[in-house]
Amino acid sequence: MRNGKTNRKSIRKRPSLRNGIIDADGHVRETDEQIMEYMSASYRSRREAMLYFPLVPHHGWHRSIPANDFRYQDFRVPDWREWAGKLDEGNIELTVLYPTRFMHIGQIGNPRYAVELCRAYNDFLHEQFLTQDRRFRGMALLPLQDIPAAVKELRRAVKSHGMVGGILPAEGLPLPLGHALYRPIFIEADRLGCALSVHSCTSLRDNDRFLLPNEVATLAHVIPQMRQFTNIIFSGVMNKLKKLRLGFLEAGCGWAPFLISKIEERLERVSPNERPVLPSELLARKQFFFQCGEESTTERDVELLGDDCLLWASDFPHEATRTNLHDLVKEFFDRKDLPAAAKNKIAHANPKRFYAL
């Protein structure tokens, strides 16, 4: 409870990571009502008015359209107990948790409000999940609308709440992530030795050009990631940050080899004195990571990117047709297109290194 003591008896003993499976991207489905309890008194005193509208604005496409879609018959808002049961089901040692609705934090225009929401979400995640089972790890929500506050919140989340890094929204912010305005976030993460994750959300600009939700879903994760990846490289933000580990999640990895080849072809035209670090060099330095698994191209992606940068993720509970984590894990390890050594890296060694677990 918010004002009570955590039930420490519910906390499980930290498991050994040896030969375990690490879920690099799981989710909580936070609700506005839950987050409201962690906001400051001035907001809680106006609870009814605050909850009349969504706390965080969303894109124009409702995720449950059409209403009779069979995939949404298994919709769930899991609490920590259900999530812990899913880890048991999949024999998964750890999961790193990201938000759902609050992934749209980049769309908040008021900096003070963004700071309030991020702090409230991080406190909610810490108390309702991270303190309940040590198999949970958290990624902090950051208010990039106020950079000094975002730096402070990343530091607080890592040092006080034991979180393993911070989230950079792929959409919603007025400037791309490589812009000098956001540089202090990258520098602080490098100093802390924690991860940063560019995580997609379905708020693709120009959504209204698409007629069907599945059209949006096909492109909404990939295109923002490609934009941010390109800008981060050409901005040179990674040039001097040798410890920073940057992940790109929710969009697979099939786009990465294509985009890297395009970027490096363009960088050949740049003077060596002005050229930023090449993506291939950052891969060699083991500073870039990508979620993989669902594409039929993963065998090719491993060949082109190597197997040191890829991460397995359950995406639970978002994969509405694949909520049996035993089957999901088995499906990955039964793949014939990947060698066993690569599977073990993707499911254990790589996420362990990315999140410094």
Q: Is the pLDDT of residue 17 over 80?
A: no
Amino acid symbol at 162: G
What pLDDT score does 150 carry? 98
CB 22 within 8 A of CB 357: yes
What pLDDT score does 2 carry? 44
Kindly tell me the burial class for residue 321, based on how many C-beta atoms sit within 10 Å of its own C-beta (0-12, 13-18, 19 or more). Answer: exposed
Q: Which of 6-15, 65-74, 203-212, 300-309 has the lowest mean pLDDT?
A: 6-15
Beta strands in the chain (DSSP E): 22-27, 94-98, 136-141, 165-169, 195-199, 245-249, 288-292, 310-312
The CATH number covering residue 220 comes to: 3.20.20.140
Q: Is the pLDDT of residue 75 over 80?
A: no
Query: Where residue 139 falls among pLDDT bands split at 50, 70, 90?
Result: very high
Euclidean distance between CA atoms 158 and 343, whole angstroms:
29
Q: For 260-307, what is each residue's pLDDT tens digit? A: 999 999 999 999 889 999 999 999 999 999 998 667 888 899 999 999
Q: For 163-180, what is each residue's pLDDT tens digit? A: 999 999 998 899 999 999
Euclidean distance between CA atoms 184 and 241, whole angstroms:
11
Q: For 23-74, what is each residue's pLDDT tens digit? A: 999 999 999 999 999 999 999 999 999 999 999 987 656 666 655 555 556 6
Six-digit token pair at 202? 């379905």
Q: Is the pLDDT of residue 114 over 50?
A: yes
Q: How many domains does the chain have?
A: 1
Six-digit token pair at 300? 């090719």
Classify residue 8: in a domain, yes or no: no
Classify residue 30: in a domain, yes or no: yes
Classify residue 10: in a domain, yes or no: no
Q: For 153-166, what is each residue's pLDDT tens digit? A: 999 999 999 999 99
Average confidence (pLDDT) over 333-354: 94
Classify residue 136: in a domain, yes or no: yes
The domain in which residue 329 lies consists of: 18-354
Mean pLDDT (the chain) is 88
Q: Is the pLDDT of residue 311 over 60?
A: yes
**Beta partners for residue 199, in sequence order:** 169, 249
Classify residue 1: in a domain, yes or no: no
Residue located via tokens 């609870």: 47
Classify residue 111: in a domain, yes or no: yes
Using DSSP's 3-state secondary structure scheme, residue 148 falls into: helix
Classify residue 53: in a domain, yes or no: yes
Q: Looking at the whole model, is its pTM more than 0.85?
A: yes
Classify residue 7: in a domain, yes or no: no
What pLDDT score does 9 carry? 39
